[in-house]
C-alpha cells in the first residue's frame, strides 16, 4: 500500500523569478536525492506565493519527509489537504517533479479553472492531482521534443 499526502504552504523564498527558480532548483535537487533514498515520489507545484506538493511512498517515510519539510523556513503554514492510502503511485517515475507557474503552462492552469492566481484553500487534493498530472505530461512532452530537436 502506498501512502499519498497532499499539502500546501506559503512560499517565503525571496527574490525575483530568476532567484526564486535558482533556490527552487536547489530545493528540488536535495529533495530528489533524499527521495530516491527514501522511496518517495511526487510532484511540487509552485508560484511566487504558494507551494502545493504531493508526496507518495511508504507511510512512515512520507510522514518523516513531511515532518522535515514542514519545519523548513523557506515556506510557512504547511497544511495537509489530504492523506490517504492508494494502490498505485501517481508519479512513479519522479523522485520529485517540479513545475513553476510560468507563461508556458498558463494554459494548463486555465484548463483547470485556475485564473490569474492560485488559491490552494479553494483547491481540493483531487484537483491538485489532476493539475500535477497535466503539468507532468507537459514537461515530459517538452523533454521529448527537445531530444528530437537536439
Ligand X SMILES: Cc1cc2nc3c(=O)[nH]c(=O)nc-3n(C[C@H](O)[C@H](O)[C@H](O)COP(=O)(O)O)c2cc1C
68 binds ligand X (CB under 6 A): yes
CA 41 to chain CA mean position, Å: 10
53 binds ligand X (CB under 6 A): yes
Distance CA 148, CA 150 (A): 5
What's 42's DSSP letter? E
Binding to ligand X (CB under 6 A) within 75-114 occurs at 75, 96
52 binds ligand X (CB under 6 A): no
Radius of gyration of the chain, Cα coordinates, nearest whole angstrom: 15
The site map against ligand X for 11-50 (x = CB under 6 A) is ----------------x--xx--xx--------x------
Identified binder of ligand X from the candidate list 45, 69, 129, 135, rule CB under 6 A: 69
Distance CA 143, CA 25 (A): 17
Amino acid at each position: 500500500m502506498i501512502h499519498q499526502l497532499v499539502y500546501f504552504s506559503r512560499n517565503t523564498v525571496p527574490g525575483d523569478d530568476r532567484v526564486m527558480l535558482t533556490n527552487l532548483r536547489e530545493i528540488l535537487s536535495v529533495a530528489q536525492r533524499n527521495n530516491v533514498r527514501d522511496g518517495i515520489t511526487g510532484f511540487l507545484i509552485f508560484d511566487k506565493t504558494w507551494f502545493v506538493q504531493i508526496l507518495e511512498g511508504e507511510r512512515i517515510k512520507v510522514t518523516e519527509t513531511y515532518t522535515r519539510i514542514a519545519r523548513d523556513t523557506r515556506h510557512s503554514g504547511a497544511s495537509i489537504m489530504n492523506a490517504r492510502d492508494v494502490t498505485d503511485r501517481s508519479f512513479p517515475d519522479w523522485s520529485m517533479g517540479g513545475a513553476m507557474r510560468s507563461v508556458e503552462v498558463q494554459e494548463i492552469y486555465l484548463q483547470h479553472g485556475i485564473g490569474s492566481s492560485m488559491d490552494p484553500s479553494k483547491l481540493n487534493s483531487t484537483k491538485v492531482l489532476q493539475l500535477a498530472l497535466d503539468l507532468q505530461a507537459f514537461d515530459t512532452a517538452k523533454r521529448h521534443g527537445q531530444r528530437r530537436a537536439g
